[in-house]
Amino acid sequence: MCDSFRTDLNYMNKKVQLQDLGFKDYKDTWDFQEVLFQEILDIKIKNRREELTLETPNHFLYVEHPHVYTLGKSGDLSNLLLSEKQLAEKGATFYKINRGGDITYHGPGQIVGYPILDLENFFTDIHKYLRLLEEAIILTLAEYGLSSERSQGETGVWLGVGTPFARKICAMGVRASRWVTMHGFALNVNADLGYFDNIIPCGIKGKAVTSMHVELGREVDEQEVKQKIVKHFADLFEAEMV
């Protein structure tokens, strides 16, 4: 959760700088996120210290990672079912990171989005932030005829909620400090779901994982999906993507 900070600032920069990083190593991307995250925090600290109202920037990063497993700060390492040697054999890496949530997988065919926002430019409500991220994915999937929804008590987007065939299609995990966010969501589009067999996804036993291409029975245009997500994100956050 966010710690209390200055919430009476009179600036509201709703421009979000969109950048597609392409196929990029997880650690390199994480380091880049940290740089952007810290830049925003530094401006907020300067504003508070010097009673200024300098605008803080907002970012939205798209990326596709090589095979990697990441474990949130409160996650259980036992949910990774591979040894270090087995990870290497599968060409995958592993990182324990500073987001919420448990373990997840990133890899080719998956759209990963990292909004790095100053929520004081939009609203100061982490619960609302997560629900709007979920809604952007739900609305996007609906455009492909896929009916998805939230599962109570489980962050992310699911299909078949309340049935024996419940399956997760989009994982989410964020970090927030002083109302600045990082990390984000991972939507399975054309992902190889076999890699999820090596973990207990998000620490939730007995729940399956799915992908758009499995549900639709065809390969899906990832660039098209990205465009749809951004459109819904912009509408929901009343943001201007630049």
Residue 135: closest CA among 237, 209, 212, 12? 237
pTM of the model: 0.91
Condensed to tens digits (0 to 9), the pLDDT of residues 134-183 reads 999 999 999 999 999 999 888 899 999 999 999 999 999 999 999 999 99
Is 75 within any annotated ligand binding site?
A: no
Tell me, yes or no, if 2 is annotated catalytic.
no
Is the CB of residue 95 less than 8 Å from the CB of residue 87?
A: no
pLDDT tens for each residue of 171-205: 999 999 999 999 999 999 999 999 998 887 655 55
Catalytic residue among 133, 202, 209, 230: 202
CATH architecture for segment(s) 15-241: 2-Layer Sandwich (3.30)
Rounded Cα–Cα distance for residues 196 and 232 (Å): 28
Neighbouring C-alpha atoms within 13 Å toward the C-beta of 173: 22
Q: Is 185 annotated as a binding residue?
A: yes
Report the percent of the chain where pLDDT is more than 70: 93
**pLDDT tens, residue by residue, 70-81:** 998 878 888 899
66 contact partners, CB below 8 Å, separation of at least 6: 23, 25, 26, 91, 92, 93, 107, 108
Q: Where are the domains of the chain?
A: 15-241
The alpha-helical segments, DSSP class H, found in 14-125 are 26-50, 84-89
Angle at 66 between CA 144 and CA 224, to 5 degrees: 25
Angle, vertex CA 233, rays to CA 228 and CA 236, nearest 5: 125
223: left (phi over 0), alpha (psi -120 to 50) or beta: alpha
pLDDT band of residue 1 (cuts 50, 70, 90) is very low
Provide the pLDDT confidence category of residue 89 given band limits of 50, 70 and 90. Answer: very high
Is 173 labelled as part of a ligand binding site? yes
